[in-house]
Amino acid sequence: MSGLNINIQALLYSIPAVLLALTFHEFSHGLVASWLGDDTPRLQGRLSLNPLRHLDPIGTLMLIFTRFGWAKPVMVNPLRFRGNIKVGMMLVALAGPLSNLFLALITVILSNLMGTGVLPYNPYFAEFFYQLFWINIFLAAFNIIPLPPLDGSKVLAMLLPDKYAEKVYSMGQYSILILVALSLTGIMSMIINPIATAFATGIMIISGIV
């Protein structure tokens, strides 16, 4: 019974952590697109920190229970970007994972302040920070995979010649099937776990410097 209680408790803390991570992720996509000159996210109401503007029901549940998932993609019009379109798309794509790593860093800093007594210790906040840290780490690791429509595919497309970039985007029609297959076979965890470990290690190192 105690194990069940722990799972339920972790789930209760995971839900607000997931809402925060997904919302900040998608908001950051829209914010960078707006900075680059595209007002599409603003017109579609995506420059908002209201979770209801961003959540995809299935992707949210996946993130809560499996530690990888997604929100509703932020639509952008790269033709409105100032400067190089491919560079703009890469910057918009990177904004999501980087925002999650930034949130993870802030979480570690707050946890350290609480652990050293600078902030009063609260076990509820400690558990929430733990969940928020790992959800952001895994969300960043999942989205950096170079498979459409994940953010990593846009970064990869930026680095490749146009003819190969088109091949990357053409994989999008099969992406859901590929993601499901990778998840069911356990390969997804084999891909994500090393990336997440590297991200977490880097955040821990940086938090000790800040």
Q: Is the pLDDT of residue 61 over 50?
A: yes
Q: Angle at the Cα of 149 (from 146 to 152), degrees rounded to 5?
A: 30
Q: What is the mean pLDDT of residues 198-210?
A: 89
Q: In residues, how long is the chain?
A: 210
Q: Which residue has the tokens 């190969």?
A: 164
Mean pLDDT of 50-68: 81
Selected residue with higher pLDDT from 68 and 115 = 115
Average confidence score pLDDT of the chain: 87
Pick 48 or 178 by higher pLDDT. Answer: 48
pLDDT tens-digit map of 77-125: 999 999 899 899 999 999 999 999 999 999 999 999 998 889 899 888 9
Q: Confirm whether 166 is a catalytic residue.
A: no
Report how far residue 100's alpha carbon sits from residue 22's, in angstroms, rounded to the nearest whole number: 8
Q: Which of 28-32, 60-64, 93-97 has the lowest mean pLDDT?
A: 60-64
pLDDT band at 1 (very low <50, low <70, confident <90, very high): very low
- Give 101-142 as a DSSP string: HHHHHHHHHHHHHHHTTSS---HHHHHHHHHHHHHHHHHHHH
pLDDT for res 154: 87
Query: Which structure tokens are listed for 112?
Result: 């350290």
Can you tell me the mean pLDDT for 56-74?
A: 79
Structure tokens that stand for 78 in this block: 């790269």
pLDDT on residue 30? 96
Q: Please report the pLDDT score of residue 164 as a whole number.
A: 80
Q: Point out the catalytic residue in the list 13, 14, 19, 26.
A: 26
Q: What is the pLDDT of residues 5-19, one digit of tens each?
A: 446 777 788 889 999
So what's the pLDDT on residue 2? Answer: 34
pLDDT (tens digit per residue) in 152-203: 988 988 888 877 877 777 777 777 788 778 887 888 889 999 999 999 999 9
In the predicted model, is pLDDT for residue 68 greater than 80? no
**Amino acid at the residue 35:** W
